[in-house]
Amino acid sequence: MRSKDFEGMVCPVADVMGAIGDRWGALVMRDLLLGLTRYDDLRRSTGVTNATLSDRLKTLERNGLIERRRYQTRPERFEYVPTQRGRELRLLMQAMVQIGDKWNLNGLDGPPIRFLDTQSGHEVKLAFVDAETGELASSLQLRPAPGSGADALMQWRLDRGTRPAE
Amino acid sequence: MRSKDFEGMVCPVADVMGAIGDRWGALVMRDLLLGLTRYDDLRRSTGVTNATLSDRLKTLERNGLIERRRYQTRPERFEYVPTQRGRELRLLMQAMVQIGDKWNLNGLDGPPIRFLDTQSGHEVKLAFVDAETGELASSLQLRPAPGSGADALMQWRLDRGTRPAE
């Protein structure tokens, strides 16, 4: 399932971008995560051509992010639903929504989409929290550090990135 | 600055993916956000060709995500740093890191990278919090809803996505 292009690179950014493929893949994944399942709906929502949509659906399926299910015979019809792995991309979509709102490239007077907690009914947002206590992080200054799975390249990248400018 | 391909689509996912361009753009942006600034470092870290790197740096600069600064004359040399808008992509990178850790496509025994709060020294993670109170969301069931900037297509997409299957 790893993208051939990124083979040998231990990096979650490479893994996630490789699995989604490109921005058309991201738009299709966005729609599936919003609950669209039908091919025609995906076409209408994304505005992509049939060739592009078919191809990206195959890519997402091959990468284990979505499943194709038959919901009708004679004629056969299929719907598409995110797998468990695909559903984890919600975090990514939410991050993009928050960044897009900050950028506001469309000059809107409010966000195009919001996410509500079904239990409380309140709007939710992504925020940095203390990994142990679950409380909001005390500062907004973060520092990257190697994890136990860092390879030599990641180690080098972090050393190089955090040392003072020459 | 909006990507021509996505013109007319009011969607933050399209905006953000359009600005980054592709996965090579994402890798370059990752490195710049980790503090790499030099062309040669970016080449080494991403493993891309000169042609690809030059092109993606130009794209990111044109899209307002990075700035090119001269740090030396005779010979002239430049470094690259994220703009304010570019720094907002940290949220996206962090989301990818967390998703990549969950997927663990590389079979690592731990994450390759972690983020620490510089004030507390504790590891931080992205989580959904109540937008008003800042407390962790009470459930993990989220429901998308149109925001005040939703256009007709977004409205349709959300209606269509959340209605019960036929």
In a domain, B156, yes or no: no
**pLDDT over 90, % of chain B:** 69
Whether residue B131 lies inside any domain: the answer is: yes
3-state secondary structure at position B74: coil
* Integer Cα distance of A122 and B134 in angstroms: 11
DSSP string of chain A, one letter each residue: ---GGGTT---HHHHHHHHH-SHHHHHHHHHHHTT--BHHHHHHHH---HHHHHHHHHHHHHTTSEEEEEEETTTTEEEEEE-HHHHTTHHHHHHHHHHHHHH-TT--SS-SEEEEETTT--BEEEEEEETTT-PBPS-S-EEEEE-TT--HHHHHHHHHHHSPP-
Task: Give the model confidence (pLDDT) of A27-77 as tens digits.
Answer: 999 999 999 999 999 999 999 999 999 999 999 999 999 999 999 999 999
Task: Decide if A102 and B88 are in contact by the 8 Å CB cutoff.
Answer: yes
**pLDDT, mean of residues A119-138:** 89
Within-domain flag for B8: yes
pLDDT number for residue A8: 57
pLDDT at B105: 85
The beta-carbon neighbor of A124 closest among B122, B130, B151 is B130
Residues B73 and B101 in one domain: no
Give pLDDT, residue A12: 87
What is the pLDDT at residue B119?
87
For residue B82, pLDDT over 60 is answered with yes
pLDDT recorded at residue A6: 53
CATH code of the domain in which B13 resides: 1.10.10.10
Residue B130: C-alpha distances to residues A96, A118, A121, B140, B166 (Å): 18, 12, 10, 11, 33
For residue B108, which of A15, A125, A82 has the smallest C-alpha distance?
A15
**B65 shares its domain with B126:** no
Chain B nearest-CA distance from A58, in A, is: 18
pLDDT at B10: 75
Could you tell me the pLDDT band of residue A119, with boundaries at 50, 70 and 90?
Answer: confident
A16: nearest Cα among A97, A136, A96, A78: A96
Q: Which pLDDT does position B120 carry in this prediction?
A: 87
Per-residue model confidence (pLDDT) at position B6:
53
Q: What average pLDDT does the segment A145-157 reach?
A: 91
Q: Please report which confidence band the pLDDT of residue A105 belongs to, taking 50, 70 and 90 as the band edges.
A: confident
More confidently predicted of B72 and B3: B72
Does some domain include residue B126?
yes
Q: Which residue has the tokens 């710049």?
A: B32
- B119 and B99 together in one domain: yes
A residues 72..111 contacting B (CB < 8 A): 85, 88-103, 105-106, 108-111
Strand boundaries in B6-133, DSSP class E:
66-72, 77-82, 113-117, 124-130
Cα separation, B60 vs B137, whole angstroms: 34
Query: pLDDT grade, residue B8 (50/70/90)?
Result: low
Average of per-residue pLDDT across A75-88: 95
Query: What is the ipTM metric for this complex?
Result: 0.87
pLDDT tens digits, B109-153: 888 999 999 888 999 999 999 998 888 887 778 899 999 999 999
Q: Does position B166 have pLDDT exceeding 70, yes or no? A: no
Name the one residue in this structure whose structure tokens are 């990468």: A63
**Residue of A30, A35, A111 with shortest CB distance to B162:** A35
B-contacting residues in A 7-26 (Cβ below 8 Å): 9-19, 22-23, 26
Is A1 a residue whose pLDDT tops 50?
no
Domain span including residue A36: 4-88
Summary mean pLDDT of chain B:
89
Closest Cα in chain A to B161: A35
Chain A residues lying within 8 Å of B98, measured CB to CB: 12, 91
* CB atoms B124 and A130 under 8 Å: yes
Question: Could B94 and A90 be called an inter-chain contact, meaning their C-beta atoms sit closer than 8 Å?
Answer: no
**Domain count across chain B:** 2
Judge whether B107 lies within some domain: yes
Do residue B32 and residue B80 come from a single domain?
A: yes
State mean pLDDT over A157-162: 88
Q: Is the pLDDT of residue B2 over 90?
A: no
Any domain includes B75? yes
